[in-house]
């Protein structure tokens, strides 16, 4: 991410933060009534530090229970806290499941959501006979044989620019459902299988629906032909189950 | 571990289990009054399954908050549950932070503690500027420069048969404080540093005291000479701080 020195003389400056969080205890990133969210906890701490109500904008929402290693947010506030001390000050106030890992000042025109050029998500499946106790909050436990080569072949069909409407959950409302996936890689590490997805943008629950479908391919319940048919028909009902949120992590946002 | 078919005709059989657990919520393995322990939770579930009170013996105790990937226990019970179904039955009853990963029947003479020939412990330090949120329960966050080569040189002095009394916490009471360390290796993985210790046996808090001392070496607060002096003098006060329990994991027991 480009970190520019703040030079403007306006009253408010544009703070940009990178944060990681374990989403287990939260109803997702985005603020909502009657449910605890990352955004609410973060904004409460920011208000304590800056002495004014603060509204942040995130690169992307994350689902209830999903995690982030490199979420990016921005907000305008009076330049009350030196930007290099901000992570230490915030981490002292935040609960231990939210950690600020970087901070900088951006130009007024910078927008964490609108300027994002791409995102990298990781989805982890625990393919062990019994769950790895240390990954139980971060991986979907799915014992039984999974054919990695079959999943890789099907994943390769998703790379490039396609209409991903068939992988969009109901409730998504966007102008276009065409997105570009740069990479879908699948790597085994012991009993874990990591799915890495990098793309220009992602539809609502798209990563989880893609992983659910690829897992069906790995179990020989679906084939590469089915993946092509989901894309051609744009029919969500043809895709696999939505993989559970706790296996998902927003790794990085590209600017 | 040797898994022999049960052939004796006695009423009770010797069940042997391998288990992993996240120790965060527990006051260690060993049962005690007024505190929740792994042993108590495990024995309660075993009693439900076998319909009789059961007392287990573990390869080794683990400290409050410390973890295990390969703890081994044995107990005698009537052969009521087929041994291959036991992990599934137990995991259905156990809380999610304790997972049985293996089971077998052993000869009556097998004792999980007395027959252990060695153990492998891993201690993880999180050396990042800010804590890795996903490792906060499993690693000791220690920012700042750590000289890996200096730590490795000091660690090499510990390998072999030595009197480790200087690394034993007060409260340990054993016949001899001589132990044999087969290996002490130190590996960096991103912002994490993993200490791997393999030995014939370990004194009370010995791994945590060794890691605390090696970290002092890594920060240039101690040198290899100090490590030799701790061993020569057998004086605990000369060693470093006791590294916190949550970075420690009993990886494997050798038979």
Measured between beta carbons, which residues in chain A are less than 8 angstroms from residue B97? 133, 136
Instruction: Using alpha carbons, select from B70, B85, B213, B68 the residue that is nearest to residue B154.
Output: B213
Question: Do B225 and B179 belong together in one domain?
Answer: yes
Window A:25-84, CB contacts with B under 8 Å: 67, 69
Residue A170 has pLDDT above 80, yes or no: no
Question: Helix, strand or coil for residue A89?
Answer: helix
Residues B132 and B68 both lie in one domain? no
Domain containing B76 equals 13-106
Residue A111 touches partner B, C-beta closer than 8 Å: no
Answer with the residue of higher pLDDT: A237 or B131. Answer: B131
Residue B79 lies in a domain: yes
Work out the minimum CA distance from B83 to partner chain A, whole angstroms: 15
Q: What is the pLDDT of residue A10?
A: 53
> Which residues, including other chains, have CB under 8 Å from residue A232's CB and lie 6 or more apart?
none
Which CATH number characterizes residue B160's domain? Answer: 3.30.70.660
> Does residue B6 form part of some domain?
no
In a domain, B69, yes or no: yes
Out of B22, B130, B131, name the one closest to residue A134 (CB): B22
User: Are A142 and A98 within one domain?
Assistant: no
Whether B223 and B127 map to the same domain: the answer is: yes
Determine, for residues B130 and A99 on separate chains, whether the beta-carbon distance falls below 8 Å: yes
Which pLDDT does position B172 carry in this prediction?
Answer: 64
Given the residues A63, A108, A163, A235, select the one marked as catalytic.
A63
Q: Is the pLDDT of residue A1 over 70?
A: no
| Confidence label for A236 from pLDDT (cuts 50, 70 and 90) | confident
Instruction: Check whether B92 has a pLDDT greater than 70.
Output: yes
Q: Is residue B34 part of a domain?
A: yes
Q: How far is A91 from chain B (nearest CA, A)?
A: 9
Distance of alpha carbon A189 from alpha carbon A125, whole angstroms: 10
pLDDT in tens, A138-150: 999 999 999 999 9
Domain termination residue (choose one: B45, B71, B106): B106
What is the rounded distance in angstroms from the CA atom of residue A102 to the CA atom of residue A109? Answer: 19
B133 vs A99, A131, A134: nearest CB: A99
The answer on B97 and B27 residing in a single domain is yes
Chain B: nearest CA to A155, how far in angstroms?
27
Segment B99-115, tens digit of pLDDT: 999 999 999 999 999 99
Could you write out the DSSP letters of every residue in B3-32?
A: -PPP---SS-EEEEEEEEE-GGGSS-SS--
- From chain A, the residues in CB contact with B96 under 8 A are 131, 133, 136
- B46, B19 in Cβ contact below 8 A? no
Where among A85, A106, A127 does a domain terminate? A106
Q: What is the DSSP letter of B217?
A: H
Is the pLDDT at A169 greater than 90? The verdict is no
pLDDT at A240: 84
Is residue B188 in some structural domain? Answer: yes
Task: Indicate whether B56 belongs to any domain.
Answer: yes
Please report which confidence band the pLDDT of residue A2 belongs to, taking 50, 70 and 90 as the band edges.
very low
The answer on pLDDT for A57 being more than 80 is: yes
The verdict on residue A4 lying in a domain is no
What is the CB neighbour count within 10 angstroms for residue B194? 16
Q: How many CB atoms lie within 10 A of CB B146?
A: 19
Q: Which residues of B touch A143 (CB under 8 A)?
A: none
Do residues B178 and B172 make contact, with C-beta atoms less than 8 angstroms apart? no
- Note whether A133 contacts B98, CB cutoff 8 Å: yes
Residue from A209, A206, A212 nearest A179 by CA: A206
Cβ neighbours of A132 in B, within 8 Å: 20, 99
A138 near B CB under 8 A: yes
Point out the residue among B22, B100, B130 whose CB comes nearest to the CB of A101. B130
- Are B112 and B57 in contact by the 8 Å Cβ rule? The answer is yes
Contact B87 A130 (CB under 8 A): yes
A163 has catalytic annotation: no
A133 to B97: CB separation less than 8 angstroms, yes or no = yes
Residue ranges in A17-147 assigned as alpha helix (H): 38-50, 86-93
Q: What phi-psi label fits residue B74: left (phi over 0), alpha (psi between -120 and 50 degrees) or beta?
A: beta
B24-33 pLDDT, tens digit each: 999 999 999 9
Is the same domain home to A81 and A152? no
B172 in a domain, yes or no? Answer: yes
Task: Check CB contact under 8 Å for A130 and B98.
Answer: no
Q: Is A205 in the same domain as A150?
A: yes
Q: What is the pLDDT of residues B13-69, one digit of tens each?
A: 999 999 999 999 999 999 999 999 999 999 999 999 999 999 999 999 999 999 999
Q: Which residues from chain A sit within 8 angstroms of residue B138, using beta carbons?
A: 134
**A chain contacts of residue B91, beta-carbon cutoff 8 Å:** 130
Q: Does A96 touch chain B (CB under 8 A)?
A: yes
Distance CA A158, CA A139 (A): 22
pLDDT surpasses 90 at B5 = no
Cα angle, residue B114 at apex, residues B161 and B45 outer, rounded to 5°: 130
- The torsion angles phi and psi of B76, rounded to 5 degrees, stand at -100, 135
- Answer yes or no: do B149 and B65 share one domain: no
DSSP assignment letter at A30: S
Model pTM score: 0.92
Taking residues B192-198, report their average pLDDT. 98
The pLDDT of residue B45 = 98
Cβ contact (<8 Å) for A130 and B99? yes
ipTM of the complex: 0.91
Other beta carbons within 10 Å of B43: 18
Q: Where are the alpha helices (DSSP H) in chain A?
A: 38-50, 86-93, 148-156, 206-218, 224-233
- Clarify whether residues A149 and A214 are in a common domain: yes
The residue among B145, B78, B133, B144 whose CA lies nearest residue B105 is B78
Average pLDDT of the residues of chain A: 93
Residue A42 and residue A161 share a domain: no
Last residue of a domain, one of A106, A137, A159: A106
Q: Does B24 touch chain A (CB under 8 A)?
A: no
Can you give the pLDDT at residue A239?
85
Percentage of chain A beyond pLDDT 90 is 87
pLDDT at A189 > cutoff 60: yes
CA distance B14 to chain A (A): 22
Instruction: Indicate the length of chain A as a whole number.
Output: 255
Closest CA to B15 of B63, B114, B91, B87: B87
Query: In whole angstroms, what is the distance from residue A164 CA to residue A166 CA?
Result: 5
Instruction: Give the pLDDT score at A6.
Output: 45
Q: Read off the CATH number of the domain in which B77 is found.
A: 3.30.70.580
Q: How many domains does chain A have?
A: 2
A246 with A168, same domain: the answer is: yes
Q: Based on the domain organization, do B181 and B97 belong to the same domain?
A: no
Q: Are B151 and B218 in contact (CB under 8 A)?
A: yes
């Amino acid at each position: 991410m480009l970190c520019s020195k703040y030079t403007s003389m306006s009253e408010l400056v544009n703070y940009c933060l990178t944060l990681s969080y374990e989403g287990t205890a939260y109803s997702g990133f985005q603020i909502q009534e009657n449910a605890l969210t990352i955004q609410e906890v973060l904004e409460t701490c920011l208000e304590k530090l800056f002495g004014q109500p603060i509204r942040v904008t995130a690169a992307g929402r994350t689902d209830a229970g999903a995690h982030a290693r490199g979420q990016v947010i921005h907000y305008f506030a009076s330049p009350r806290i030196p930007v290099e001390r901000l992570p230490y000050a915030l981490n002292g106030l935040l609960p231990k499941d939210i950690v600020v890992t970087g901070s900088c000042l951006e130009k007024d025109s910078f927008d964490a959501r609108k300027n994002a050029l791409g995102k990298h998500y990781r989805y982890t499946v625990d393919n062990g006979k019994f769950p790895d106790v240390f990954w139980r909050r971060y991986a979907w436990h799915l014992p039984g044989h999974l054919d990695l080569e079959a999943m890789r072949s099907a994943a390769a069909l998703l790379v490039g620019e396609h209409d991903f409407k068939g992988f969009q959950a109901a409730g998504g409302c966007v102008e276009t459902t065409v997105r570009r996936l740069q990479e879908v890689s699948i790597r085994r590490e012991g009993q874990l299988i990591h799915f890495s997805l990098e793309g220009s943008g992602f539809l609502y629950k798209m990563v989880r629906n893609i992983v659910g479908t690829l897992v069906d391919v790995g179990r020989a319940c679906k084939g590469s032909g089915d993946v092509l048919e989901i894309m051609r028909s744009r029919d969500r009902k043809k895709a696999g189950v939505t993989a559970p949120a706790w296996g998902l992590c927003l790794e990085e946002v590209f600017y």
